Amino acid sequence: METSPPLPSSGEDAARGTERRLMAEAAAGGQAALAQVYDLTSAQVFGLILSVVRDRPAAEAVLQETYLHAWQHAADYDSSPDGIAVWLCGIAHRYAIAHLRAAVAAEVDTETAEESYADRLSEAMRSLPPEQSQCIALAYYAGLTQYQIAARTAQTIAAVRSHTRAGLSGLHDHSQRSREAAALARRSTPEPA
């Protein structure tokens, strides 16, 4: 025997009526109405967002985006039997997923940029004479002073300074040539139709 869903109680009807009224007022620009909607629903909506993004500051930003969207699209609210909290949770879930996707994309872009920079730097260091790349590596990677480099490499301080200065100049020149080559490649690449 099939049972039909329970009929809404008069309390649920009153709540849906209040929600419809508040959203109509918000659609007309009523900030007080949206504030009431926020007070009624924000704990539930925030809980959903936090469970998706798992980062409180990010969840707070997504919550703000959700209610801004709700205010801007209040006229689109269709008073469903589920109520306004379900409508807002749907919006919040979409924004939370979009936030996660953007965070992953940004992380991948950052890693790619860091790898690209590291590759370019390694290439530039290999283009230098060995005594120049050694002095720069000991200074910047090992954190040694020029006096410590001189002691470790059995060179005079003047030689270390000269190799370091020439090496930095060589890195700068290599970087400049790489930038010019990249700019030329961008100009010569045909744009897609």
Dmax of the chain from CA atoms? 98
Judge contact between 96 and 48, C-beta under 8 A. yes
Judge contact between 163 and 131, C-beta under 8 A. yes
Q: Which amino acid, residue 43?
A: A
Question: pLDDT value at position 108?
Answer: 64
Neighbours of 34 (CB within 10 A): 20
Token pair 């370091």 is at which residue? Answer: 164
Q: Please give the tally of structural domains in the chain.
A: 2
User: What count of residues does the chain have?
Assistant: 193
Kindly report the CATH number assigned to the domain that includes residue 151: 1.10.10.10
117 assigned to some structural domain = no
Instruction: Give the domain-ending residue among 70, 105, 140.
Output: 105
pTM of the full structure: 0.53
Instruction: Give the integer Cα–Cα distance in Å for 97 and 40.
Output: 23
31 assigned to some structural domain = yes
Q: Which DSSP state fits 128?
A: S
Question: pLDDT value at position 191?
Answer: 56
95 lies in the same domain as 28: yes
Instruction: Give the integer Cα–Cα distance in Å for 99 and 103.
Output: 6
Q: Please write the tens of the pLDDT for every residue from 98-124.
A: 888 888 777 766 666 666 777 888 888
Residues of the chain with pLDDT under 50: 1, 4-8
Q: Measured in whole angstroms, how far is the alpha carbon of residue 81 from the centre of its chain?
A: 36
- DSSP, collapsed to helix, strand or coil, labels residue 155 as coil
Instruction: Give the integer Cα–Cα distance in Å for 124 and 116.
Output: 12
Kindly report the CATH number assigned to the domain that includes residue 63: 1.10.1740.10
Q: Which domain holds residue 86?
A: 12-105
Judge contact between 139 and 167, C-beta under 8 A. no
Question: pLDDT value at position 82?
Answer: 77
75 lies in the same domain as 157: no
- DSSP, collapsed to helix, strand or coil, labels residue 127 as coil
Instruction: Give the domain-ending residue among 39, 72, 105.
Output: 105
Judge contact between 22 and 33, C-beta under 8 A. yes
Write the DSSP string, 58-91: HHHHHHHHHHHHHHHTGGG----TT-HHHHHHHH
